[in-house]
C-alpha cells in the first residue's frame, strides 16, 4: 500500500540533520570548539571520557549567551552569525548554519552553563531529546560550558558505528590539535579520562604551539617558512632531512586560520622533498596560508574542511616555492644517527687512502681533461670540454628541430635557475664553507671521501657516487631547462635497429631527444643513427644510454604525450652516469666544489644521503671519552 506523504516533525528533522553534521565525538567537539572560537574565547578546554562516547565537555571564556537566547540557540537554523542572504558573502565566522546545537541536542543529553558580561548571574539549561528538561540561574564566570553525555542513546544504529574508545579518542585529540594549530593566540587544553594530554600556550607563537603538541624531536628539525607575494602569505614550519614519518599525518595546512584538507597541497609538499627523503618517507609540514577571501571558495563542504582556489596552479607553485626556499636556506646535512655507526675502526683505518691536502689549488686549475683511455667504450671526438665550464656554450646544439613543445612549467620550480638565483647567492657561502673548503683526509673503500672541518671540529663522510649523481643530475637538468645541453659528436655514429614499438615511441619523442642533447637521424626500416650524445654521458655505452632514455620516456610519458621531463632525466641520469672509481685529490676537490654548487647537495636524486656529519663530541662519545 502506498504510504501517505506528510510533513516530518521537528524531532525527526533534527535527527536527520544530526546525521549529517554529527557522526562521532570528533564532530561534536569540532562544532562546539568552533562555536567557542566564534565567541572570541582565548581559552578553550576540551575534556572527554571513553573517547567522548560517555562524556564531552567544552569550556570557553568567550562572550557567553544571553539567558533569553539560550533556548533559541538550540533551535534549528538559529544563529547569531547571519541575518540575511547578503551576510553569507561576508561571513568570517566558522559556523553560520545554526544547526550544530540543535543537532547535538537531538541525539544526546546536553547541558549548557553560560554567562555574558552584562548579566550578574549565569544560566544552566539541560536538553534531552530536543526538549528542555532543566533550567536555573547559577553563578559562573563569563563564558560557556557545554557538556554532552549519552551520545546516540536514542539512535542505536549510529551508536553501533562508533569505534573503540581509543580510536574515537584519537580522532578527538587530532581535531583539537588541528584547531589549536589554527589559532596560536588561543590556549587549548585537552583532557582525556581526567588527565591533561596537552595544553598549548596563547602567546601567538606557532612554534611553541607545535612544540606543545608534537614534542622536542620534531621541533628540533623544524625550518621556518616565510613567504609573501602580493595577496598571499605562507608561513609555518617544515622539517629538515633528519626527521621523517611513514605517513602524511603531520602535514597540516591552515588557510585563513582554518584547518583544511587538500590533497593537491600534500602532493606539492611531497614533490618539494621528492629527491631529498628516502622512498615512502614523508616530511612534517605545518603551513599557514593567508589568501584573500575572494580568491577562495570555502563553502564547498558542510564540514568546511575543503576549499577551492580560483587560481589553483598559481597557489600550488607558490607553496612549492615557499617550502623549497625554506629548505634551501637551511643546512640540510644529515646528522649521523649513532645506531648507524658500527665502531669497527681497527679494520677501516688501514683502508684509508691518505692524501696530502692541497687546499690552495684552485678549482680552475683542476679542470679535468678527458683522456682517451677513460673512454674506450666509444669512439668519439672531443668537441669541447665545456662540461666543466658553465659559461661557455659555443657548442650547444643549434638544431632546427628544437621547438617549444615541452611544457616547461611542469618541471620542478626549484630547478629553474632564473627564479632562484637570488636565493642561491644568499646561501652559496654557507654551503661553500661547509663543503668546498673542507680539509680532505682521504678516501675510504674507494667510495667515501673523508673530510674535516678544522674550524668547527666536524667530520664529514661524503658518498662519492651519490655526490656524482646529484651533481650530474642537477647540471643536466638545468642545462636541459635552459636548452643548453652540450652535445658530443661521435666519431663513428652508432646505428641501432629498434623494435616497431620502440621506433614509434622514439619518433614521438624526437624533439625531446634533441633537447636532451642527442642528434639522431632516421636510418630507414626502424633503424636510427645516433650522431651526437649529451656530453655528460661520454663514458657511457651509447646503445645502453639511448635505451635508458627511451625506457624512461616510456615510463614517464602519459597518454597526452606530455613528458615528466625531470623524472625522465633523473632515471636516465642515475642509470647512465659513470663516475670514475678512483679519484685524485684534485678531482675530489673538484667534486666537492661542484657539489657545493648544487641546489641540494645533501641527497642523491633518489633521496639517499650524500653527506654524513659527525662532530668531535660524537666521536669522543663512541670512545667513551666523555
Ligand atoms: P552556528 O554556530 O552555525 O551559528 P550553532 O548551533 O553552532 O550554530 O550555535 C547557535 C548559536 O548559539 C550561535 O550562533 C551562537 O550565537 C550561540 N553559541 C553557541 N555556542 C556558543 C558559545 N560557546 N559561546 C557563545 N555563543 C554560542
Ligand atoms: Mg556552530
Task: Show the DSSP H helices in 362-463 as ranges.
Answer: 417-431
Q: Residue 12 pLDDT more than 60? A: yes
State whether the Cα torsion 281-612-594-514 is positive or negative.
negative
For residues 207-227, average pLDDT:
89
| pLDDT of res. 369 | 33
Q: Which ligand is nearest to the CA of 78?
A: 1
Tell me, using a 6 A CB cutoff, whether residue 60 lines ligand 1.
yes
| Residue with the larger pLDDT of the pair 8 and 302 | 8
- What is the Cα–Cα distance from 89 to 549, expressed in whole angstroms? 53
| pLDDT of res. 200 | 94
Question: Distance, CA 82 to ligand 1 centroid (Å)?
Answer: 11
**Mutation probe of ligand 1 site: the residue of 31, 41, 57, 101 with most atoms within 8 A of C-beta:** 101
| pLDDT of res. 90 | 58
Question: What letters, b where the CB count within 10 A reaches 16 and e where it falls short, cover 72-103?
Answer: ebbebeebbebeeeeeeeeeeebbbbbbbbbb
- What is the Cα–Cα distance from 432 to 186, expressed in whole angstroms? 43
Q: Residue 174 pLDDT more than 80? A: yes
Q: What is the per-residue pLDDT across 61-110, written as a single tens digit (0 to 9) for each?
A: 999 999 999 988 887 666 776 666 666 555 566 665 678 898 899 999 99
Question: Distance, CA 45 to ligand 2 centroid (Å)?
Answer: 17
Q: Residue 273 pLDDT more than 80? A: yes
- What is the Cα–Cα distance from 416 to 332, expressed in whole angstroms? 20
C-alpha cell at 307: 576549499
- What is the Cα–Cα distance from 354 to 441, expressed in whole angstroms? 6
Question: Distance, CA 94 to ligand 2 centroid (Å)?
Answer: 7
C-alpha cell at 626: 666523555
Question: Distance, CA 182 to ligand 1 centroid (Å)?
Answer: 19
For ligand 1, atom 17, the nearest C-alpha belongs to 73
Helix (H) or strand (E) holding 534, with range, is strand 527-534
**Mutation probe of ligand 1 site: the residue of 30, 44, 79, 102 with most atoms within 8 A of C-beta:** 79
| pLDDT of res. 81 | 64
For residues 266-272, average pLDDT:
93
- What is the Cα–Cα distance from 71 to 396, expressed in whole angstroms? 79
Tell me, using a 6 A CB cutoff, whether residue 61 lines ligand 1.
no
Tell me, using a 6 A CB cutoff, whether residue 238 lines ligand 1.
no
Q: What is the per-residue pLDDT across 522-555, written as a single tens digit (0 to 9) for each?
A: 887 788 999 999 988 887 788 888 988 888 888 7
**Mutation probe of ligand 1 site: the residue of 30, 38, 104 with most atoms within 8 A of C-beta:** 38
- DSSP 8-state symbol, 432: I
For residues 280-288, average pLDDT:
92
Please report where in the chains the cell 667510495 appears, as a residue: 447
Distances (CA, A) of 476 to 377, 387, 459, 570: 21, 10, 30, 9
Q: What average pLDDT is seen over the chain?
A: 77
Neighbouring-strand partners of residue 196: 191
| pLDDT of res. 15 | 66
Band of pLDDT at residue 412, cut at 50, 70 and 90: very low
- What is the Cα–Cα distance from 219 to 132, expressed in whole angstroms? 48
Band of pLDDT at residue 397, cut at 50, 70 and 90: very low
Contact yes or no for 18/106 (Cβ under 8 A): yes
For ligand 1, atom 1, the nearest C-alpha belongs to 98
Question: Distance, CA 34 to ligand 2 centroid (Å)?
Answer: 6
For ligand 1, atom 20, the nearest C-alpha belongs to 35
Q: What is the per-residue pLDDT across 568-597, written as a single tens digit (0 to 9) for each?
A: 787 777 766 665 567 788 888 889 988 988
Q: What percent of the chain has pLDDT over 90?
A: 34
| Nearest atom (ligand 1) to Cα of 103 | 6
| pLDDT of res. 394 | 32
Question: Distance, CA 206 to ligand 2 centroid (Å)?
Answer: 25
C-alpha cell at 339: 645506531
Tell me, using a 6 A CB cutoff, whether residue 144 lines ligand 1.
yes
| Nearest atom (ligand 1) to Cα of 31 | 7
Question: Distance, CA 371 to ligand 2 centroid (Å)?
Answer: 75
Tell me, using a 6 A CB cutoff, whether residue 73 lines ligand 1.
yes
Amino acid at each position: 500500500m502506498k504510504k501517505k506523504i506528510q510533513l516530518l516533525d521537528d524531532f525527526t528533522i533534527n535527527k536527520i540533520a544530526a546525521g549529517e553534521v554529527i557522526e562521532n565525538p570528533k564532530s561534536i567537539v569540532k562544532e562546539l570548539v568552533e562555536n567557542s572560537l566564534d565567541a572570541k574565547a582565548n581559552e578553550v578546554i576540551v575534556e572527554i571520557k571513553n573517547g567522548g562516547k560517555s562524556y564531552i565537555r567544552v569550556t570557553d571564556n568567550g562572550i557567553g549567551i544571553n539567558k533569553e537566547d539560550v533556548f533559541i540557540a538550540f533551535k534549528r537554523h538559529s544563529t547569531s552569525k547571519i541575518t540575511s542572504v547578503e551576510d553569507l558573502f561576508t561571513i568570517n565566522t566558522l559556523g553560520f548554519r545554526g544547526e550544530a546545537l540543535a543537532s547535538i541536542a537531538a541525539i544526546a543529553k546536553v547541558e549548557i552553563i553560560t554567562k555574558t558580561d552584562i548579566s550578574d548571574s549565569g544560566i544552566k539549561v539541560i536538553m534531552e531529546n530536543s526538549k528542555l528538561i532543566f533550567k536555573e540561574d547559577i553563578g559562573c564566570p563569563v563564558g560557556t560550558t557545554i557538556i554532552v553525555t549519552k551520545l546516540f542513546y536514542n539512535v542505536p544504529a549510529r551508536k553501533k558505528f562508533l569505534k573503540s574508545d581509543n580510536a574515537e579518542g584519537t580522532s578527538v585529540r587530532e581535531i583539537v590539535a588541528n584547531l589549536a594549530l589554527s589559532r596560536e593566540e588561543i590556549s587549548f587544553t585537552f583532557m582525556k579520562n581526567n588527565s591533561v594530554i596537552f595544553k598549548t600556550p596563547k602567546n601567538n607563537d606557532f612554534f611553541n604551539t607545535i612544540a606543545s603538541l608534537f614534542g622536542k624531536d620534531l621541533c628540533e628539525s623544524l625550518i621556518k617558512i616565510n613567504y609573501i607575494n602580493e595577496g598571499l602569505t605562507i608561513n609555518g614550519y617544515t622539517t629538515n632531512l633528519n626527521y621523517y614519518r611513514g605517513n602524511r599525518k603531520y602535514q597540516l595546512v591552515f588557510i585563513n586560520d582554518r584547518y583544511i584538507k587538500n590533497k593537491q597541497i600534500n602532493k606539492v609538499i611531497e614533490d618539494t622533498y621528492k629527491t631529498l627523503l628516502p622512498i615512502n618517507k614523508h616530511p612534517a609540514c605545518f603551513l599557514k596560508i593567508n589568501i584573500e577571501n575572494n580568491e577562495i571558495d570555502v563553502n564547498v563542504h558542510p564540514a568546511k574542511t575543503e576549499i577551492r582556489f580560483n587560481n589553483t596552479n598559481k597557489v600550488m607553485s607558490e607553496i612549492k616555492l615557499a617550502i623549497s626556499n625554506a629548505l634551501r636556506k637551511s643546512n640540510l646535512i644529515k646528522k649521523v644517527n649513532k645506531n648507524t655507526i658500527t665502531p669497527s675502526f681497527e679494520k677501516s683505518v688501514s683502508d684509508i687512502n691518505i692524501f696530502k691536502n692541497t687546499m690552495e689549488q684552485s678549482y680552475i686549475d683542476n679542470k679535468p681533461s678527458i683522456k682517451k683511455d677513460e673512454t674506450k667504450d666509444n669512439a668519439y671526438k672531443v668537441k669541447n670540454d665545456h662540461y666543466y665550464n658553465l659559461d661557455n656554450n659555443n657548442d650547444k646544439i643549434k638544431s632546427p628541430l628544437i621547438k617549444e613543445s615541452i611544457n616547461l612549467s611542469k618541471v620542478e620550480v626549484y630547478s629553474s635557475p632564473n627564479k632562484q638565483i637570488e636565493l642561491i647567492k644568499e646561501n652559496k657561502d654557507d654551503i661553500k664553507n661547509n663543503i668546498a673548503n673542507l680539509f680532505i683526509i682521504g678516501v675510504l673503500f674507494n667510495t667515501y671521501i673523508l673530510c674535516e672541518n678544522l674550524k668547527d671540529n666536524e667530520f664529514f663522510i661524503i658518498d662519492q657516487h651519490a655526490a656524482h649523481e646529484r651533481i650530474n643530475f642537477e647540471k643536466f637538468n638545468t642545462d636541459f631547462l635552459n636548452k643548453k645541453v652540450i652535445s658530443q659528436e661521435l666519431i663513428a655514429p652508432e646505428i641501432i635497429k629498434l623494435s616497431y614499438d620502440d621506433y614509434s615511441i622514439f619518433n614521438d619523442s624526437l624533439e625531446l631527444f634533441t633537447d636532451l642533447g642527442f642528434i639522431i637521424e632516421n636510418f630507414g626500416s626502424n633503424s636510427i643513427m645516433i650522431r651526437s650524445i649529451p656530453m655528460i654521458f661520454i663514458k657511457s655505452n651509447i646503445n645502453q644510454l639511448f635505451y635508458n632514455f627511451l625506457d624512461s620516456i616510456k615510463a614517464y610519458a602519459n597518454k597526452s604525450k606530455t613528458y615528466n621531463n625531470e623524472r625522465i632525466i633523473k632515471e636516465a641520469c642515475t642509470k647512465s652516469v659513470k663516475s670514475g672509481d678512483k679519484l685524485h685529490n684534485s678531482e675530489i676537490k673538484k667534486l666537492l666544489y661542484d657539489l657545493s654548487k648544487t641546489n641540494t647537495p645533501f641527497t642523491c636524486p633518489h633521496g639517499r644521503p650524500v653527506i654524513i656529519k659527525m662532530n668531535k663530541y660524537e666521536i669522543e662519545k663512541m670512545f667513551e671519552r666523555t
